[in-house]
Structure 1
Amino acid sequence: MDTKRLILFVVFSFSILMLWDSWQRDHKPTPAPLAAATQQIEDGSIPQAANSSAASTTQTNPPVEAGFRLQSAERINVETDLYKASIDTIGGDLRHLELREHKDDNDLEKNFVLMDDTSAPMLYVAQTGLIGNDLPTHKAAFTSESSSYQLAAGASSLDVRLTWKGDNGIEVDKIYTFHRDSYAIDVSYAIRNNSGAAIDPSVYYQIVHDNQSHQGSYMMPTFTGGAYYTDADKYKKLSFSDMTKNNLSKNTNDGWVGLVQHYFVSAWIPKEGLAREFYSKKLSDNLFSIGTVSHMGVIEPGNSTELKSRLYAGPQTQSDLKAVAPGLEYTVDYGWLTVIATPLFWVLSSIQKLVHNWGVAIILLTILIKLAFYPLSAASYRSMANMRELAPRLQRLKEQYGDDRQKLHQAMMEMYKTEKINPMGGCLPILVQIPVFIALYWVLLGSVEMRHAPFMLWIQDLSAVDPYYVLPILMGATMIIQTRLNPKPTDPIQAKVMTIMPIVFSVFFFFFPAGLVLYWLVNNVLSIAQQWHINRTIHNEAAKKKGNARR
């Protein structure tokens, strides 16, 4: 049998079972629909103030509202080269965000909607607020000079300023700064203390998301949930089921916190060096918040202060992520194979820059990997070819010894020793290659660059399934050919399993992205060519030995 195919079949079958189990545990449907968010429960959407020795008593009791709901007032529309955004004057929340360079999953005429507050089918908003001294939370009403902003031609940035004035004389400006050709949005607070007393505010940044949207398909579940990064703990993911069990509470002086989904991420990145506490909360049956809160420091009467933060909201493009914040590139999660997958992606993207086609880049990378592992593959195929030549003799031994397993085994070992063949000689070379094959699998599955990337002819999206299932069918055909090139098992049950396995294995590929199937198809074609060449060489050598023996 083809040892490589069997091992990969077991590995992928086990992986799929584990993914299915994880999906069931982390994303099983809740009995109440998303609309249940309006049930009368305590609203915990406003976090507690950050710890401070000088914290005022007004900080410890933020306003509480019965039942979580998003209030709305006027909308401010913002348009840049990358975004179509909508900001609500209630809290200055970022309520709607379209990515102009990325299209909808099902309709290429529409932009991909990253954030939305309609609850149909998802609820996903970015909020900020101030806690203490009756300062504006995300429930306060702001004003703006305009209801529409657009990045001017030739301009490098666009400021959207919202203003709040309190009865105590305190004034707060909340400023969004959008940058050309950047998915990093600066969010600043400018506070002017015109009151007669010192104030001691805390600032929070959070993302509210439902636990039902963006969960992937049954066959290809993907992670959607919270995540954070610190220099000490590195990258950590937090599922919605984890948030249900325990609230996150992590104190640190660095890092970011956010929400990740397949291909996209939103992350709050506080000012460098600012002490912060990462937190999460379950707001209702289906809604969760994850964010960060920091103490700003005392502001004396007549003084003012400004605090900047950054929101990354966009695709998981590694070059962009690395430029924004340390550790943000880990949201492209390759798991324990990151050390292998990262250089593979670098090689793949380097090839793409030369050929300008991700499908061609996949083919060329597959060829490079095949060349790199050619000696190991050759050793494996040579071992299997020798076993193929021995198959008739092994069958005769089985007929000779019948059900006497012990004598059959001894005779087989003696034959292997005489012919200098190790029946397991093909396994070790394949085991060495498996981590590379699986790492490339995760690279192709997790790279946003593949999303809506055309290859040729009918393959216009390498991240989607082949619409006509041509690649999976060809994949199945190559597996059948490989099975016939391998030594036929002497056991009838094993022989039947080897006959059915290509069909079963191909079924999985009907649900895999076309880019993945393309990789495996090319790999199989190259393997067939190499295996056929080695089989022919070994067969000619065996025939030559028989001819010499007769003389």
Structure 2
Amino acid sequence: MDTQRLILFIAFSFSILLLWDGWQKEHQPKPQPEVVTSQVKPASDQLPSTKQNLSALPATQQVVSAGSLTSGQRINVHTNLVNAQIDTMGGDLRRLDFTKHSETHDKSKNFVLFDDKPTDLYVAQSGLLNAGLPSHKSLFKSEATDYKMLPGKDKLDVRLTWEDNGVTVTKIYTFHNDSYLIDVSYEINNTSATAIKPDAYFQMLRNGRPPADDPKFIQTYTGAAIYTEAGKFHKISFSDITKSKEELPGKKQDGWIAMLQHYFLSAWLPAGNVQREFYTKEVGPDLFSAGVILPVGEIEPGQTKSVKVELYAGPQEQDNLKKIAPGLNLSVDYGMLTIIAAPLFWVLSSIYKLVNNWGVAIILLTVLIKLAFYPLSAKSYRSMAQMRVLGPKLAKLKEQFGDDRQRLHQAMMDLYKTEKINPLGGCLPVVVQIPVFISLYWVLLATVEMRQAPFMLWIHDLSIPDPYYILPIIMGITMIIQTRLNPTPPDPIQAKVMMFMPIAFSIFFFFFPAGLVLYWVVNNVLSIAQQWQITRAIESMKAGHVKR
């Protein structure tokens, strides 16, 4: 089996797995929406519980009617990066869109992360745990309904108030200029005659469906994730939440919890060495919560205490995430090959800073990878060239021994030994390169910086398929040329399969992001040039020996 066939087989198998996984995601039965008629329970049964029984965390139960949330008055907030809508019911952050990121299929609209539509339910909620204190189901008041970041200002405060039983609670959203960080804080003023000891919870609530602009035939992760210094980063899928398979850490002094999707995330980021408890729960049909609970401490009569947690809701820009919280950049997850993928992304982003075009950066990175593996590739192509030169002799052996496979195999081994050729000599170099190819695949797929990044001519977005399928067709042509440079397989059926593969690959790559196809095209062109040069040199050398 020559090395080019090994490359094609592995790449073909990898593509089949990706497409099959994507097809299953696209065509799996969707859960039918259910109307939940909830009997209202005491507040203590509806909110996250703390401390006593960690295995029971949380007891959060959302009151859901026909898949929608109860609403109060809307408060609109505008900064240079986000447009937000806060609902006075609970002070929920019900809608958040980004001014610097547009929808995948409609560039005239902003990309929406949070939304309270039943079909796209994904909101940020918070509240206090103590009998008589406001939760995400309590009605707040606001002095205004429209807020806008003024020129020259670094931050914008939105204040909501709640008052009952001698306790005044002020919930404050602080938006920052040029930042996707939002501070969510509570000021609790106890003017009652007795002390109170509340805890505060901060959670994301969302349905289990992937976002509408998720790639159709490529599986990406949508679900929760958690990070602590002890446990490091790990994902918590919606299916694991449903089955209660995930064991969450106990009380911690560090860490954060997030909801991830392709290119974007939201995360609650408690600061400092504040004690915290994390929780996840299925709170309704196809509805999940993930959050963190923090103690506020005892508040004596006449005292005021506050608690604050930062909420990051924005794109997975790795350079920015590193600066915000430890481990937050790990939300861009390359899986088992992170050790290879992370340096590849660093090189890719460094090239981009020089050329200011992600398509050109992909081309230059492909050239660098090709140069790094040049000696290994050359060994593979020499092996194929030698096998190509031996083609006529192998054909004669097949004619001589006919269907006697044992004698034919022995004669071929003797010929390889005489010619000092190892038919599998190029396999190891190819196997060594495979992890790099797969790592680069995930880098190009997961990089939000590639989203809606133009290349040139008809390629206006490297993160979506080529709209005219020109790159996949060019890739198919390069694969046909590569096939012609390879030794012809002795088996006629195998030869037909090898001729069919370029067409099959072109069809598969119709659905792949243009950035990935661009990488394959450049890699194929460079491989053709290298293989042609080596094949010509070996064939010329063999021809010279024959003449003498």
Give the TM bin, normalised by the shorter chain.
over 0.9
| Structure 1 residues 92-103: aligned runs within 5 Å | 92-103=91-102
Task: Give the aligned CA root-mean-square deviation in angstroms.
Answer: 2.4
Distance 2:389 2:37 in 1: 72
Residues 48/528 of structure 1: CA separation in 2 closer, same or farther (3 Å cut): same
Name the residue aligned to 1:56: none
Amino acid at match of 1:92: G
Distance 1:27 1:452 in 2: 26
Match among 202, 206, 210 for residue 203 of structure 2: 206
Cα deviation digits, residues 359-416 of structure 1 (max 9, x gap): 1111111111111111111111011100100011011111111121121111111111
Name the residue aligned to 2:476: 476
Residues 534/187 of structure 1: CA separation in 2 closer, same or farther (3 Å cut): same
Distance 2:520 2:2 in 1: 15
Following superposition, the deviation at residue 133 of structure 1 comes to: 3.1
Distance 2:308 2:163 in 1: 20
| Structure 1 residues 278-293: aligned runs within 5 Å | 278-293=278-293
Distance 2:304 2:179 in 1: 29
Distance 2:490 2:199 in 1: 74
Gaps of at least 5 residues in structure 2 are none
Moved more, 532-541 or 320-329: 320-329
Name the residue aligned to 1:263: 263
| Structure 1 residues 357-372: aligned runs within 5 Å | 357-372=357-372
Following superposition, the deviation at residue 6 of structure 1 comes to: 3.4
Name the residue aligned to 2:228: 230
Cα deviation digits, residues 227-275 of structure 1 (max 9, x gap): 1111122111122211211175432321111110000001111232222
| Structure 1 residues 107-256: aligned runs within 5 Å | 107-119=106-118, 121-166=119-164, 168-214=165-211, 216-246=214-244, 248=246, 249-251=248-250, 252-256=252-256
Amino acid at match of 2:171: K
Distance 2:109 2:117 in 1: 17
Residues 202/445 of structure 1: CA separation in 2 closer, same or farther (3 Å cut): same
Name the residue aligned to 1:83: 82
Question: What TM-score, normalized by structure 2, do the two folds share?
Answer: 0.93
Question: What TM-score, normalized by structure 1, do the two folds share?
Answer: 0.93
Tell me, yes or no, if the aligned pair for 1:46 and 1:137 is still in contact at 8 Å: no
Distance 1:82 1:387 in 2: 60
Distance 1:164 1:196 in 2: 18
Tell me, yes or no, if the aligned pair for 2:58 and 2:279 is still in contact at 8 Å: no
Following superposition, the deviation at residue 291 of structure 1 comes to: 1.2
Residues 326/199 of structure 1: CA separation in 2 closer, same or farther (3 Å cut): same
Residues 341/8 of structure 1: CA separation in 2 closer, same or farther (3 Å cut): farther
Residues 348/171 of structure 1: CA separation in 2 closer, same or farther (3 Å cut): same
| Structure 1 residues 145-544: aligned runs within 5 Å | 145-166=143-164, 168-214=165-211, 216-246=214-244, 248=246, 249-251=248-250, 252-544=252-544
Tell me, yes or no, if the aligned pair for 1:42 and 1:66 is still in contact at 8 Å: no
| Structure 1 residues 34-45: aligned runs within 5 Å | 36=34, 38-40=36-38
Tell me, yes or no, if the aligned pair for 1:271 and 1:307 is still in contact at 8 Å: no
Matched length: 539
Distance 1:442 1:61 in 2: 37
Distance 2:489 2:173 in 1: 67
Residues 69/471 of structure 1: CA separation in 2 closer, same or farther (3 Å cut): closer
Distance 2:82 2:76 in 1: 10
Distance 2:58 2:425 in 1: 69
Moved more, 302-311 or 108-117: 302-311
Residues 29/453 of structure 1: CA separation in 2 closer, same or farther (3 Å cut): same
Gaps of at least 5 residues in structure 1 are 54-58
SS in 1 for 2:274: coil
Residues 42/359 of structure 1: CA separation in 2 closer, same or farther (3 Å cut): farther
Amino acid at match of 2:428: L
Distance 1:195 1:257 in 2: 34
Residues 4/46 of structure 1: CA separation in 2 closer, same or farther (3 Å cut): farther
Following superposition, the deviation at residue 164 of structure 1 comes to: 1.1
Tell me, yes or no, if the aligned pair for 1:133 and 1:200 is still in contact at 8 Å: no
SS in 2 for 1:545: helix
Following superposition, the deviation at residue 3 of structure 1 comes to: 2.3
Percent identity of equivalent pairs: 59
Residues 49/329 of structure 1: CA separation in 2 closer, same or farther (3 Å cut): same
Tell me, yes or no, if the aligned pair for 1:27 and 1:211 is still in contact at 8 Å: no
SS in 2 for 1:406: helix
Tell me, yes or no, if the aligned pair for 1:91 and 1:129 is still in contact at 8 Å: yes
Distance 2:275 2:26 in 1: 31
Distance 1:151 1:491 in 2: 71
SS in 1 for 2:390: helix
Distance 1:31 1:63 in 2: 20
Tell me, yes or no, if the aligned pair for 2:188 and 2:306 is still in contact at 8 Å: yes
Cα deviation digits, residues 90-112 of structure 1 (max 9, x gap): 11100000100000111111100
Moved more, 195-204 or 13-22: 13-22
Residues 523/93 of structure 1: CA separation in 2 closer, same or farther (3 Å cut): same
Tell me, yes or no, if the aligned pair for 1:60 and 1:132 is still in contact at 8 Å: no
Amino acid at match of 1:72: S
Moved more, 93-102 or 394-403: 394-403
Following superposition, the deviation at residue 40 of structure 1 comes to: 3.7
Distance 1:145 1:322 in 2: 37
Residues 26/524 of structure 1: CA separation in 2 closer, same or farther (3 Å cut): closer
Tell me, yes or no, if the aligned pair for 1:382 and 1:535 is still in contact at 8 Å: yes
Distance 1:285 1:509 in 2: 36
